[in-house]
Chain A
């Protein structure tokens, strides 16, 4: 092989130019991710929006996770639940129940992040959908559902942190620095406006099981108005669904995996259980820490307090349906410890040391609506519908324990505590009725008015100086 003359060299030069040409093709440097979708060409088709809607709904998994802010605030900061031994940095988690939260608590920060992640997934749909070339009814339905979710997320957030930055469109990093804390009032205004929009535009029946319905919007709107102290509006919206739902005859069935989305359920988070699909973690996380017999491991969260146990009236079947008194360990010894029973799924497959359960989590149910109606109307009949289901003496009857719950307000407070026990309502109920300080201090909690709001995470305050800290932190 001789390349002495330029002819022989020609193939090399030719090869060189081929390579140059390969390189010069315009797309050589434009690599689209192969294993991820990207936003560039998304939010166009109906299918895209269906995917985006589902993703927004999937945020409910974090917002109502057994280790979520709803769980910590709703139960542990109330007098219902506590934690004993848990894994990891215990002081950051026990600080909730002890009211010793500090602004740099990483769990509080996680809650903040989760809230805004969830809100973002609704915002991005809401801001893209109107421009999409899709049929109007689909667009209105999608926007309504997203506004319902956004209202729910803001409602939870404002109840925990007070006024928060009110973000209703996707914002860039630079824009975000312009967002200080909106007043509580403004946040509620937005919540109401979102819900009113949804109320007016959402279809009566959801396009799929688990999606928001008009009933869900009414129930939430009722709850929001009740929280705002607007009993009249609360009654208006709650009455719209009065008798459109019905209580299950057997209280215990509410969490039974074969009674999902029952007639009592108004808005319910959907799980399938098993491998690779969304599964619910309430049962293993609420089981005693490292018990190793009832569940593979046990998270030890939301262990039931004696006061909740004692709150139940004699013969209240809800007590046994709600709480375990203990378990038998590996050597056959019975360990006395009270913990939640509602979400037991004994058939769950164990994956990564945790039961991948199938139970749904009910966010809004009819019993809650009835009790809210009792509260907004001052009429005990709604309360008594709830009590009748579990065959307890009706309020106003002779056998009602009125020495303990002398007023209708106290009766409702008591009823909500036992009916909705461990379903993330208690702390918010106490705050709504203004009874938090009295009740919690009586339970030995070191709580002041300031501590009824979580601190704004230190990182958030550090990051943007226009964001102010809550008093007391």
Chain B
């Protein structure tokens, strides 16, 4: 902090509210220290305990050091322009226990400065002889030259310099230099640059200004967005993680959330599907619900949106992303806050010259982590053994010819006589996957003056997926406008329009192309001799294999024979008006709307070129979806002080929100050929349309209070009424209270130089989760027709049970946190501990079927999440070579406390079983434990086993030790929730170069590999993992002792859900490596065209260290519910290398 105007030893606070302006002008006039006015600084010193006597013994010490020492001894603050001190003479002095004034006189003896004590502050000013007199600068204009540099003294081209209250502004050139003509000496100039803290300086009589801008990041004055307003970071009482998007600038992503993956502790973001445009799954502080949704609430420029597709917002338009994690922060969002709240704020132009920013990025994606599968030779052996093992179990012999076998035991003669003709066979992953290219073009214009600021941006993304024929295109436009109608009235509008064309294949899990490609038998060629895909072509020589239960779902039979496209059009608009009734009292009203239109068309060619398991007729469908969400929000806020020490900020508000969804679908069949894909060419088979609505009414209020910037208190309450809940429980209250103590503002820490911030926070609040069906409380009926002879008779069946008591889930959360900044802000640490209990858990509880229903939605159950979150940032090197490390780690423990009406566990059965029971985490995997393979009959006889067990069959553990293997031997065999998650980012910069790498780690979770029911267990002659080659063949050749022998007819529990399907989900991923270069300002100056320029290369998802046998340990085929950690052949997460260039003109 050298050249800046500053006030040492005093923490930043709101200056204006501290010192009456009369005193200020007095200072100005009498001291001629014009530079004093610069700023956000404050003066507030309590010096009562300090001595008035000074002892100093120094030789040729810099003046600054002396000042520091005096301050330490006396507690007096110093107020000065640091620039002056640069020219100060070194001081040699030896005094003991002299008075302050005596010491100061001696110190300033040979200086060009003099000093004066005001209150408890020592103001240093130039000696009178240096100045021309008061009148000179009070009324005069002057031309100003200046230079804007960053913390390291490097020029900041493009910085905006605006004369406050006028439209006069300029921008710093390539060298950071600027020039302003005829500036009033009393004018204040405002210097701003994106990513830096804005500074205001009173010009005074200076002709040259050297301005240092400081990074906004980590700045104590940084502002964070909270619900219905903003707060200074130091004032925040809750647990809020704030992400400045300038940091994320170079990484390629379509969804803003992807960029913060592994960077925010307690925010678990999982990219479950790697398809372009696939939204990540977000869970904040664990799973707080079993049945209701677990998605956070997204608030985009103030509009709360449930289940919103963030892909429709261009990440480059985003200024900041703030995540409200604890209940005190999110309680202001009431019945929707329990899963956390993500606040997204979009950019607005800075005052100054219009800035044109252009960016282009080219990406190359590929699947680097393939699944290792058997080749044709291995598969043939496996196939033969599976048939023979079953045949032998059926009293046959392995060498019996087909003629004596039943059809299901027969083996193609070629497999037996000449398997070599199949060679290695086809690698179906080669067929399915490709190297995919992407292009991303960004353009934005931003700027404005003090009355009007704007941002206009557009972007176009064209991204191919790594799966054949998979493509994603997005076009976005945004206009953000803010205009001051008068001193009191400000209005604005944010408008975002996006269009997405998504041709997606492979994210459907079980029956989609990625899952099935792994199961395809490698013996088949990509094309048969007729140029068709499949062996089901009756004219093909391959047709004979149809009788041998072989499998082929040709990838192209989906990707090339099914013509599909999802088109999404989203328009989001906010218009607001702010009226400052009296100083500090502000009324704000806004009307917001989000209009979504989605169209989906699909056409399946007849027969799919014989590439599918069945010869299907041509079929076409078209769907359309329409959602309109509108919101009216009205708030009254009042910010005021009582005395100097009591600062209050109140807000009260009222909102109305409503959403309507409409859906329609038409399906046609009987197409004469594949030429026309629109439905008019066929005959309509079925059609439907539905509509749903919900409405929400809310009242809320909040009080923020602080005493002397030391003690902070926040209380809030929201009352929500929702249409989704039962007649008896339409309304709910969501209160919260939080306090924090900014210990570093206490006197006793005032002189500890090494502490910049130390804050203790505690909060408690209640939030709700309303993410259930719109009509969950109502017993719904639907059509179920019967026939009276030859006419259709309408019938109506009861679908769901009614529950007039249905209400939201309530989460009560306690949070204790600590924020610390040490050693010149070189170490920053945030620590949070929380305990959250969700009550009235919404359970679609499996009810006894004798009620006529399988489930009923009820508020029965209780669950707890408790955890620790740590975020640590260290600036290891801050010189020319800068090195910053960001580390975060989060631990969450989940436990079900109460469940259902009588505590019975909840089971889900979906190719794997989960059991949710009291006293344990939600959704434990529940199945048998296989412990190796029986090698001999003796081994079998000596342990409990199922009937018909033979050597080569799995050893099923008798869990309950009752000597019998049955259902009661199922036990807990894993859980998808990690023990802890961590992220580590290191950033190095040297001159214009910046290099960073980021590691993501998830530890201690298990994956339910549903694909294993085919690829690990012989089932319907599908191909298997190459690791399965180690299966048991004979007592002499027992394989790896883990993989049981294949059979087409297992007699035991082989196909039952067991630990054989469950895999370790621990992984460490090299998430990102990036290298960027920004040419020096001097160079850019020569080019004279660019204001700034940056080129970069990025490698996303470089490598995953994991033992998982599927594509990616992060994959999951489910985005919600109890099967979250289950993977049924999900879309792999590709490696993505991007090259980009960004510049502004």
A252 CA / B723 CA spacing, docked (Å): 58
- A23-B907 in contact (CB<8A): no
Q: Which of B489, B722, B784, B792 contacts A55 (CB 8 A)?
A: B784
- A38-B850 in contact (CB<8A): no
Q: Which of B486, B723, B849, B904 contacts A30 (CB 8 A)?
A: B723
A351 CA / B684 CA spacing, docked (Å): 11
- A20-B789 in contact (CB<8A): no
Interface: A378 (CB within 8 A):
no
A34 CA / B660 CA spacing, docked (Å): 11
Chain B residues in 8 Å Cβ range of A35: 689-692
1/0 contact string of A15-37 vs chain B (CB within 8 Å): 11001101110001111111111
A353 CA / B856 CA spacing, docked (Å): 34
- A331-B795 in contact (CB<8A): no
Chain A residues in 8 Å Cβ range of B850: 116, 119, 165, 167, 171, 176, 179
- A12-B795 in contact (CB<8A): no
- B798-A210 in contact (CB<8A): no
1/0 contact string of A96-117 vs chain B (CB within 8 Å): 0000001110100000110011
Chain B residues in 8 Å Cβ range of A42: 781, 796
- B634-A3 in contact (CB<8A): no
Contacting residues of chain A (114-160) with chain B, CB-CB under 8 angstroms: 116-117, 119-121, 123-124
Q: A37-B781, A276-B686 are known contacts. Are A16 and B634 too (CB-CB below 8 A)? A: yes
Chain A residues in 8 Å Cβ range of B792: 272, 277-278
- Closest beta carbon of chain B to A11's beta carbon, Å: 10
Interface: A433 (CB within 8 A):
no
- A123-B852 in contact (CB<8A): yes
- Closest beta carbon of chain B to A466's beta carbon, Å: 11
1/0 contact string of A42-57 vs chain B (CB within 8 Å): 1000001011111111
Chain B residue nearest to A360 in the complex (CB): B787
Chain A residue nearest to B619 in the complex (CB): A352
Chain B residue nearest to A175 in the complex (CB): B851
- B692-A32 in contact (CB<8A): no
Interface: A444 (CB within 8 A):
no
Chain A residues in 8 Å Cβ range of B848: 165, 173, 176-177, 179, 460, 463-464
Chain B residues in 8 Å Cβ range of A211: 788
Q: A31-B693, A177-B848 are known contacts. Are A54 and B794 too (CB-CB below 8 A)? A: yes
- A29-B692 in contact (CB<8A): no
A48 CA / B579 CA spacing, docked (Å): 56
- A170-B685 in contact (CB<8A): no
Interface: A40 (CB within 8 A):
yes
Interface: B779 (CB within 8 A):
yes
- A31-B694 in contact (CB<8A): yes
- Closest beta carbon of chain B to A464's beta carbon, Å: 6
- A12-B656 in contact (CB<8A): no
Chain B residue nearest to A2 in the complex (CB): B486
A173 CA / B794 CA spacing, docked (Å): 29
Interface: B967 (CB within 8 A):
yes
- A58-B579 in contact (CB<8A): no
A47 CA / B904 CA spacing, docked (Å): 40
Chain B residue nearest to A36 in the complex (CB): B780
- Closest beta carbon of chain B to A104's beta carbon, Å: 5
Contacting residues of chain B (685-719) with chain A, CB-CB under 8 angstroms: 685-686, 689-695, 697
Interface: B901 (CB within 8 A):
yes
Q: A19-B656, A30-B723, A276-B685 are known contacts. Are A173 and B858 too (CB-CB below 8 A)? A: yes
- A116-B852 in contact (CB<8A): yes
- A36-B787 in contact (CB<8A): no
Chain B residue nearest to A458 in the complex (CB): B967
Flag the segment in A234-242, A290-298, A307-315 that touches B.
A290-298
A23 CA / B966 CA spacing, docked (Å): 58
- A40-B786 in contact (CB<8A): no
Chain A residues in 8 Å Cβ range of B787: 210, 270-272, 277-278
Flag the segment in B284-292, B352-360, B458-466, B610-618 that touches A.
B610-618
1/0 contact string of B817-845 vs chain A (CB within 8 Å): 00000000000000000000000000001
Flag the segment in A84-92, A394-402, A413-421 that touches B.
A84-92
- B798-A174 in contact (CB<8A): no
- Closest beta carbon of chain B to A308's beta carbon, Å: 18
Q: A23-B656, A29-B697 are known contacts. Are A51 and B486 too (CB-CB below 8 A)? A: no
Chain B residues in 8 Å Cβ range of A1: 485
Interface: A439 (CB within 8 A):
no
Q: A36-B780, A52-B796, A102-B967 are known contacts. Are A331 and B579 too (CB-CB below 8 A)? A: no
Contacting residues of chain B (20-63) with chain A, CB-CB under 8 angstroms: none
- A120-B798 in contact (CB<8A): yes
Interface: A388 (CB within 8 A):
no
- B779-A40 in contact (CB<8A): yes
- A277-B785 in contact (CB<8A): yes
- Closest beta carbon of chain A to B541's beta carbon, Å: 11
Chain A residue nearest to B693 in the complex (CB): A31
- B589-A173 in contact (CB<8A): no
Q: Which of A89, A106, A119, A171 contacts B1055 (CB 8 A)?
A: A89
- A38-B779 in contact (CB<8A): yes
Chain B residues in 8 Å Cβ range of A48: 796
A446 CA / B792 CA spacing, docked (Å): 45
Interface: A172 (CB within 8 A):
yes
Chain A residues in 8 Å Cβ range of B1020: 90
- B849-A23 in contact (CB<8A): no
Contacting residues of chain B (718-748) with chain A, CB-CB under 8 angstroms: 721-723, 730
Chain A residues in 8 Å Cβ range of B853: 117, 120
A113 CA / B798 CA spacing, docked (Å): 15
Q: Which of A32, A120, A123, A210 contacts B788 (CB 8 A)?
A: A210
1/0 contact string of A449-473 vs chain B (CB within 8 Å): 0000000001110111000000000
A278 CA / B792 CA spacing, docked (Å): 8
- B632-A19 in contact (CB<8A): yes
Contacting residues of chain A (258-298) with chain B, CB-CB under 8 angstroms: 260-261, 270-272, 275-278, 290, 292, 296-297
Interface: B595 (CB within 8 A):
no
- Closest beta carbon of chain B to A43's beta carbon, Å: 10
Chain A residue nearest to B948 in the complex (CB): A100
1/0 contact string of B765-794 vs chain A (CB within 8 Å): 000000000110011111011111110111
Interface: A209 (CB within 8 A):
yes
- A459-B846 in contact (CB<8A): yes
1/0 contact string of B939-970 vs chain A (CB within 8 Å): 00000000000000000000000000011000
- A170-B852 in contact (CB<8A): yes
- A20-B654 in contact (CB<8A): yes
- A331-B685 in contact (CB<8A): no
A220 CA / B1020 CA spacing, docked (Å): 43
Contacting residues of chain B (793-824) with chain A, CB-CB under 8 angstroms: 793-799, 801-802
Chain A residues in 8 Å Cβ range of B788: 54, 208-211, 270
Interface: B1111 (CB within 8 A):
no
**3 interchain residue pairs of minimum CB distance:** A120-B852, A209-B789, A54-B795
27 A/B residue pairs, CB under 8 Å, sorted by A: A2-B485, A16-B589, A29-B695, A29-B697, A33-B775, A35-B690, A36-B799, A50-B793, A54-B784, A54-B786, A54-B788, A113-B849, A113-B854, A116-B850, A117-B853, A124-B852, A173-B801, A173-B856, A208-B789, A270-B787, A270-B788, A277-B785, A278-B785, A296-B614, A352-B619, A458-B967, A464-B848
